[in-house]
Amino acid sequence: MMWKKLTEYPNEKVIDKEFNKIIYWEIQDGKIVHQKRILRSADIETFEIYQSSDTVFIARDKNNIYHAWSKLSKVDRDSFVALGNGYWKDKNVAYIENETSLTQLKGLDAQDFCVLGNGFAYDKNFAYYFGRVIKSCSDPQTLTLVNADDYFAMDSENIFYESGVLKGADKETWKLLGNGFSRDKKSVFFAIKNYHELI
């Protein structure tokens, strides 16, 4: 994805494509406006929107990064990059974006931060699922996706569905069945629910 100047959009507006009603960004009376709120310190000539199907809330000018109408003064503007799945980083830390904010992730080293996909990411200290720490992951640097089209991942000790662990799953015999189902030699799982009694 890339950055595009707000002045290059039709009528200097970024409008919701699906409903064609919400005006996310616009230039109005010589000011940058996000959903009817003015960004007073934004520079019109250099103001750019990050173009992505993931977000319409990230923007920048020659001095700052913005999330919606908030200027993010702690974010390093020159090193700020998108990583995918709502994850971003600058030279110092990594962030997760949700609709209302860009939040710094807990205790990480941005240099070692890696996004796997499907919401999973890790650094040398933690594994994450859409920004939430996966507490059961004791070996985050071994975290891998099971399948690029599903929400399962594993580390050296556990199998995870989203941020939850499949308790009691045998890694040696575990296999993905599809549609949230998996099994090992003794159990069938749906997401993290163990249906051992059904076998």
Span 4-59, pLDDT tens digits: 999 999 999 998 877 768 899 999 999 999 999 999 999 999 999 998 877 889 99
Distance of alpha carbon 150 from alpha carbon 161, whole angstroms: 9
- Asked if residues 156 and 141 have their Cβ atoms less than 8 Å apart, the reply is no
How many other C-beta atoms lie within 10 A of the C-beta of residue 191?
13
159 is written with which tokens? Answer: 């199998």
Span 97-141, pLDDT tens digits: 987 899 999 866 778 899 999 999 999 999 999 999 999 999 999
Distance of alpha carbon 123 from alpha carbon 24, whole angstroms: 33
